[in-house]
Amino acid sequence: MATEAELVLAGLDPEQRLIAEHLRGPISVLAGAGTGKTRAITHRIAYGVRTGVYAPERVLAVTFTRKAAGELQGRLRALGADGVRAQTFHGAALSQLGHFWPDVIGGSAPQILPGKVAALSQTVEAAGMRLGGEALRDLAAEIEWRKTSMLSIDDYAARIDQRPIPTGLTPQQLIDLHTRYAGLLEERRQIDFEDVLVLLTGMLESEPRVALQVRERYRFFTVDEYQDVSPLQHALLKVWLGDRDDVCVVGDASQTIYSFAGASSSYLLRFGVEHPNARQVRLERNYRSVEPIVRMANRLMRDRPGALTLTAMRATQDPAPEVGAPLTSATPLAKRQARPGAKPPTQTGPAAPTFEWFASEGDEAQAVAGSIAAAIQTGTPASEIAVLYRTNAQSARFEDALRKRGVGVRVHGAQRFFERADVRQAVMLIRGEAKVAHDRPLFQIVSDALRAGGWSTRPPEGAAERDKWEALSSLLSLVDEMPPGAGIREFSEELLARQRTQHEPTVDAVTLSAVHAAKGLEWSLVHVAGLSEGQFPIVHAVDEASIDEERRLAYVAFTRARDMLRLSGVAGGTRANRQPSRFVGESGLI
pLDDT (tens digit per residue) in 20-34: 999 999 999 999 999
106: left (phi over 0), alpha (psi -120 to 50) or beta: left
- Could you tell me where the DSSP H helices lie in 441-543? 442-452, 463-477, 488-499, 515-518
Assess whether pLDDT exceeds 90 at residue 333: no
Beta bridge partners of 569: 357
Find the mean pLDDT for residues 438-444.
Answer: 87
Question: Who has greater pLDDT, 342 or 584?
Answer: 584
> 520-563: per-residue pLDDT in tens?
889 999 999 999 999 999 988 888 999 999 999 999 999 999 99
Q: Which residues are annotated as a binding site for ATP?
A: 31-38
% of the chain at pLDDT higher than 90: 64
Q: How far apart are CA 365 and CA 399, in angstroms?
A: 9
Give how far the C-alpha of residue 204 lies from the chain's centroid of Cα atoms, to the nearest Å. Answer: 31
Assess whether pLDDT exceeds 60 at residue 346: no
Question: Who has greater pLDDT, 469 or 517?
Answer: 517
Question: Who has greater pLDDT, 330 or 360?
Answer: 360
Quote the mean pLDDT of the chain: 87
**pLDDT at res. 573:** 56
> 128-158: per-residue pLDDT in tens?
998 888 889 999 999 999 999 999 999 999 9
Which of 89-98, 207-216, 499-508, 522-531 is least confident?
A: 499-508
Residues of the chain with CATH 3.40.50.300: 4-94+197-283, 291-415+503-586
Classified as helix, coil or strand, 205 is: helix
How many CA within 13 A on the CB side of residue 189? 5
**pLDDT at res. 586:** 96
Does the global pTM surpass 0.95?
Answer: no
Q: How confident is the model at residue 349 (pLDDT cuts 50, 70, 90)?
A: confident
**pLDDT at res. 466:** 63
Q: How far apart are CA 395 and CA 513, in angstroms?
A: 8
> 273-304: per-residue pLDDT in tens?
999 999 999 999 999 999 999 999 999 999 99
* DSSP structure class, residue 343: P
**pLDDT at res. 462:** 64
Find the mean pLDDT for residues 62-78.
Answer: 85
Find the mean pLDDT for residues 229-256.
Answer: 96
Assess whether pLDDT exceeds 80 at residue 73: yes
Assess whether pLDDT exceeds 50 at residue 505: no
Assess whether pLDDT exceeds 80 at residue 508: no
Assess whether pLDDT exceeds 70 at residue 569: yes
Which of 123-127, 275-279, 310-314, 505-509 is least confident?
A: 505-509
Assess whether pLDDT exceeds 50 at residue 350: yes
Q: Which residues are annotated as a binding site?
A: 31-38
Find the mean pLDDT for residues 96-125.
Answer: 93
Which of 135-139, 177-181, 423-427, 475-479 is least confident?
A: 475-479
Find the mean pLDDT for residues 490-508.
Answer: 60
Find the mean pLDDT for residues 337-351.
Answer: 49
% of the chain at pLDDT higher than 70: 89
**Cis previous bond, 353, omega within 30:** no
Assess whether pLDDT exceeds 90 at residue 332: no
Assess whether pLDDT exceeds 80 at residue 323: no
CATH topology of domain 4-94+197-283: Rossmann fold (3.40.50)
Give the relative orientation of helices 193-206 and 133-148 as an angle to the nearest 10 degrees: 20
Assess whether pLDDT exceeds 70 at residue 576: no
> 382-430: per-residue pLDDT in tens?
889 999 999 988 998 999 999 888 887 888 765 567 777 888 898 889 9
Question: Residue 392: CB partners within 8 Å, gap ≥ 6?
Answer: 414, 415, 417, 467, 470, 471, 514
What are the φ and ψ backbone dihedral angles of 579, each rounded to 5 degrees?
A: -110, 160
> 360-383: per-residue pLDDT in tens?
999 999 999 999 999 999 999 988
CATH topology of domain 291-415+503-586: Rossmann fold (3.40.50)
Q: How confident is the model at residue 101 (pLDDT cuts 50, 70, 90)?
A: very high
**pLDDT at res. 77:** 86
